[in-house]
């Protein structure tokens, strides 16, 4: 099991992801919440189905944390270069920026409707 399996399937269970990436299920779920980049599809039963992009993102996070020895914050910054709007952050200034940008978006949408 490995990269060749990623190309053979469109969707993966969390067990498949664990087997392919070598990342424990609890870490996959934590990274899903922490990074905001992994967005599995939820079946009616509540089970997660990960896409190829999700699996590749997990492999990239694993590489940054285990091979390059980055902290979670360091990995977020590195991934932020490619996925800037999706990264969750705990910095208060960033939360203020997000709120401000959301207000701008809502104002523009309101103006477009008029």
Q: What is the pLDDT of residue 84?
A: 43
Residue 93 lies in a domain: no
Give the list of residues 6+ apart from residue 83 with CB closer than 8 angstroms, or none: 37
Q: What proportion of the chain, given as a percentage, has pLDDT over 70?
A: 81
Q: Is residue 112 in a domain?
A: no
Q: What is the pTM of this model?
A: 0.69
**Phi and psi dihedrals of 102, rounded to 5?**
-65, -40
Q: Does 15 reside within a domain?
A: yes
Q: What integer best gives the mean pLDDT of the chain? A: 83
- Domain holding 74, by residue range, is 3-84
pLDDT at 16 over 80: yes
């Amino acid at each position: 099991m490995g990269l060749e399996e990623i190309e053979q399937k469109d969707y993966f269970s969390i067990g498949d992801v664990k087997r392919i990436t070598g990342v424990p299920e609890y870490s996959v779920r934590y990274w899903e919440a922490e990074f905001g980049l992994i967005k599995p599809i939820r079946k009616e039963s509540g089970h997660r189905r990960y896409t190829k992009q999700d699996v590749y993102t997990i492999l990239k996070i694993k590489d940054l944390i285990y091979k390059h020895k980055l902290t979670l914050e360091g990995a977020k910054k590195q991934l932020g270069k490619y996925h800037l709007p999706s990264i969750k952050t705990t910095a208060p200034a960033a939360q203020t920026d997000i709120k401000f940008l959301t207000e701008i978006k809502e104002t523009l949408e309101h103006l477009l409707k008029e």
